[in-house]
Amino acid sequence: MNDITAKPALPDRLSINPRSPHHVEEVFEHDIGITFNGKERFDVEEYCISEGWIKFASPKGLDRCGQPLLLTRKGTVEAFYK
């Protein structure tokens, strides 16, 4: 019960897509939260804290490979462990 495992530091840029070079598998072993402009978002596919943007899937659009089209929004991004 007192098993305290050290959580890896959250990177500046992170993606949930395993094919991305910004995907870090060790981070996804824990629950992550993303706050964008003061509100928690649950649909974030990728983020960058230093550049201040998030990417999330379009509800209807698909790219040429059939993957959801990613939309970008700019603002204040904060990542944290839940």
**Better-scored residue on pLDDT, 51 or 67:** 51
Cα separation of 44 and 74, whole Å? 12
What totals of helices (H) and strands (E) does the chain contain, helices first?
A: 0, 7
If you average pLDDT over residues 7-13, what whole number do you get? 92
* DSSP letter, residue 79: E
What is the pTM for the complete model shown? 0.83
If you average pLDDT over residues 33-37, what whole number do you get? 96
pLDDT at 2 (0 to 100): 52
